[in-house]
Structure 1
């Protein structure tokens, strides 16, 4: 099976290396830029696999591979199509997960091949969930791949199921904290932990002309029966 890979992120490179070791896969190229897509028309691969490729692939390119074009998206589609799918489940309470699906003319709307939910916890940051989603992506793709090689995969249309989509602009807006806003504590903590992704600076607030970055660390109590006063400073 001749394959062209579209990818730019860490898990994309990891899966690319795994596919290169498959006896039944001939990896023709890895493309990372939109202006490289014409190579697909020239090479006419059997399959295109996309992981972390942020550009919309035009229909004339999607029509080339005889076995179609697949995308591995780190969300439980149809929830959280688009950008930063590790952020929104922590804020909106939507299911987190990963989905392998066929690509079509829109972002993350094609027929589903397989998907898996990923659990979340109130102590999770955006980075925590991102790392868990990456592992789930690898597990799902490597589990399903033999069926892809054998041509035994089934497809399930997403249809008119409830959906959510987020753009890069949505994420940028989320990062700015307005010092004049009144907030509910739980919702605000959800926002801060979703934006916590060291070493990157995401959430910020401007006070008296100065810009401050904000991260958060939420830890689950190890022993809920321990003395509630442990760790408090004594005044005497």
Structure 2
């Protein structure tokens, strides 16, 4: 008998997972919810499981505790590192492990028991945008690998180790570049890499009453065309 599921949120990985689940015979996705106001529908539908990917709002305890097999959340960080917003940015700026994690949702953001996780190497040429794209693909692959266990109600393991958490407002707080500040080259490069995420305009400095936006592009020698 197919599981009844609700899908919560939508990002690049979520779009792939949602489409993949809809093509399967062992699960029936009853609804796709992307807005906070839609959360009460979960109580009406009474699904066996909820899968969340990129949902931007905190889910109340009574909703979390409703589905028999819980809410499975897909988070693009190597938990417990970089809970919260923009983990691809902070992995570069703070030089913390990057990766993808599947965990059960609890009341606190990204703190629930981990079903599985995978560390992803950050390349010296990575920007937040490049890393984001790679993490989204890795997230989809990790979910597919773990689906047989997830649908059987696998238990997660409590998170242990160093914890970092970031919030939406922090990205704006670090985006202005102070032209008078003296910084180490390596730290400055990490900041520019972490703030380069097309199509967004993040890093900037102000001069003559106007904002000038800054991006960085780093190319490994191995990727240069011969003779260029």
- Which TM bucket (shorter chain)? over 0.9
Change (3 A) 1:223 1:125: closer
Larger radius of gyration: 1
Structure 1 distance, partners of 2:135, 2:12, is 12
Q: TM-score, normalization: structure 2?
A: 0.94
State the partner residue of 2:83.
Answer: 81
Change (3 A) 1:213 1:25: same
What is the SS of the residue equivalent to 1:134? Answer: helix
Q: Deviations over 1:103-130 (max 9, x none)?
A: 0001100000000011111111111100
Indicate yes or no: 2:159 matched with 1:158. yes
State the partner residue of 2:4.
Answer: 2
Shift of 1:209: 1.1
Change (3 A) 1:15 1:223: closer
Question: What stretches of structure 2 of length at least 5 have no aligned partner?
Answer: none
What is the SS of the residue equivalent to 1:132? Answer: helix
Q: TM-score, normalization: structure 1?
A: 0.91
Indicate yes or no: 2:176 matched with 1:176. yes
Q: Deviations over 1:1-42 (max 9, x none)?
A: 000010121221111010111101010100000110000111
State the partner residue of 1:191.
Answer: 191
State the partner residue of 2:114.
Answer: 112
Q: Note the aligned Cα RMSD (angstroms).
A: 1.7
State the partner residue of 1:234.
Answer: none
Structure 2 distance, partners of 1:63, 1:193, is 39
Structure 1 consecutive aligned stretches of length 4 or more whose deviation exceeds 6 Å: none
Deviates more, 1:188-197 or 1:174-183: 174-183
Shift of 1:154: 3.0
Q: Deviations over 1:124-180 (max 9, x none)?
A: 1111100110011000000000112233x2310014x21000101111112111122
Q: Is the 8 A contact 1:7 1:13 kept in 2?
A: no
Q: Is the 8 A contact 1:47 1:68 kept in 2?
A: yes
Q: Is the 8 A contact 1:179 1:207 kept in 2?
A: no
State the partner residue of 1:54.
Answer: 56
Indicate yes or no: 2:102 matched with 1:100. yes
Change (3 A) 1:52 1:222: same
Change (3 A) 1:122 1:48: same
Structure 2 distance, partners of 1:43, 1:223, is 51
What is the SS of the residue equivalent to 1:175? Answer: coil
Q: Deviations over 1:75-101 (max 9, x none)?
A: 000000000011111111110000000
State the partner residue of 1:144.
Answer: 146
Structure 1 distance, partners of 2:116, 2:50, is 17
Shift of 1:199: 2.3
Structure 2 distance, partners of 1:98, 1:199, is 23
| Number of equivalenced pairs | 225
